[in-house]
Amino acid sequence: MNPLLAISDLSVTFATDRGHVQALDGVSLSLNAGETLAVVGESGSGKSVTALSILGLLGDSGRVSDGSIEFGGEDLTKVSDQRLREIRGNQIAFIFQEPMSSLNPVLTIGTQVAEPIWLHHKKPWSEAFEQAGELLQRVAIPDAVKRLEDYPHQFSGGMRQRAMIAMALACQPKLIIADEPTTALDVTVQAQILSLLKNLTKEANSSLILITHDLGVVARYADNVAVMYGGRVVETASARELYKNPQHPYTEGLMASIPKLDGDPGSRLYTIEGQPPDLSNLPSGCSFHPRCPYAQDKCTMTKPTLSEVAPNHLRACFGYER
């Protein structure tokens, strides 16, 4: 079976005041229909740039310098802007971190949910609006039909994110990309939104890319995981395998940073020492070496590439003894 999405050797650069910055360096990922892939890493690891590249939303300063993004048989790095616009919202939908900045404050929620149905599916406005009411019901907005007339500021943070999910589902996309969709919400609402997103994408047989810095989220909601660092994928495996058997020191560090219910009361939380790398001045060799407790001389000189450590489990590391 061909994957729905296959990113191969993708490199992306941005023109900045400080010269060209390589935000992605040879990223390869794939995703089958109906699967959830979590892309995990700290800020600046390249996870959001990967997502924006899929949609061709790199802005004027960003460009794909190498590689391909195959989606449903088309290379999205080569299609026209017009074709990308047809795909965006229709076949691939995006849910942003902060819904208030993606919802239009002067349009009602109903208008914003109905618009993609009217635009992409060419349905009469009254039918699209009725469907918007059904979608708000599906995302569990109380009094959904009445709330179609509300403006975004009349919704709570959790309700706005539910409305964004309704908008994403409106055209029954094959792929939904959610970029830190619950970061701005409190913990209880986070769990509700993520469960809703997972259940609705499963019902619709859509695939989901969940971008997050939180490995706790990954355990519950993802089938597969790609861990990113310094613009590269450093480990990829099924979520179950990654938790049981992390094979990269960075993944180990992220795991150790998750607070544990049975941890010693009063003990300090583990943190990975140092800072994420500056993409305009990446360390030589393995870019994790300044923070890696297992770094050897070789790590400072040569870049490790992804290789298989177990079936369907890859890591970019020369190996180490714990």
* Residue ranges that bind ligand SF4, judged by CB under 6 A: 248-249, 286, 288-289, 292, 294-295, 299, 304, 317-318, 320
Would you state the torsion angle of the CA atoms of residues 290, 293, 296, 298, taken in this order, to the nearest 10 degrees? -50
Which lies closer to ligand SF4 via its Cβ, residue 198 or residue 303? Answer: 303
- Classify 282 as helix, strand or coil: coil
Q: Tell me the closest approach of the beta carbon of residue 172 to ligand SF4, in angstroms.
A: 41
Which lies closer to ligand SF4 via its Cβ, residue 197 or residue 317? Answer: 317
Which lies closer to ligand SF4 via its Cβ, residue 169 or residue 227? Answer: 227
**What is the 3 state secondary structure string of the chain?**
CCCCEEEEEEEEEEEECCEEEEEEEEEEEEECCCCEEEEECCCCCCHHHHHHHHCCCCCCCEEEEEEEEEECCEECCCCCHHHHHHHECCCEEEECCCHHHHCCCCCCHHHHHHHHHHHHHCCCHHHHHHHHHHHHHHCCCCCHHHHCCCCHHHCCHHHHHHHHHHHHHCCCCCEEEEECCCCCCCHHHHHHHHHHHHHHHHHCCCEEEEEECCHHHHHHHCCEEEEEECCEEEEEEEHHHHHHCCCCHHHHHHHHCCCCCCCCCCCCCCCCCCCCCCHHHCCCCCCCHHHCCCCCHHHHHCCCCCEEEECCEEECCCCCCC
Which lies closer to ligand SF4 via its Cβ, residue 162 or residue 289? Answer: 289
Q: Tell me the closest approach of the beta carbon of residue 189 to ligand SF4, in angstroms.
A: 36
Q: Tell me the closest approach of the beta carbon of residue 271 to ligand SF4, in angstroms.
A: 17
Q: Tell me the closest approach of the beta carbon of residue 292 to ligand SF4, in angstroms.
A: 3
* Nearest alpha carbon to residue 204 among 47, 85, 93, 80: 93
Which lies closer to ligand SF4 via its Cβ, residue 25 or residue 115? Answer: 25
Q: Tell me the closest approach of the beta carbon of residue 30 to ligand SF4, in angstroms.
A: 23
Q: Tell me the closest approach of the beta carbon of residue 306 to ligand SF4, in angstroms.
A: 12
Which lies closer to ligand SF4 via its Cβ, residue 193 or residue 316? Answer: 316
Q: Tell me the closest approach of the beta carbon of residue 128 to ligand SF4, in angstroms.
A: 51
Which lies closer to ligand SF4 via its Cβ, residue 55 or residue 295? Answer: 295
Which lies closer to ligand SF4 via its Cβ, residue 10 or residue 227? Answer: 227
* Nearest alpha carbon to residue 55 among 77, 74, 73, 23: 77
Q: Tell me the closest approach of the beta carbon of residue 230 to ligand SF4, in angstroms.
A: 10
- Classify 127 as helix, strand or coil: helix
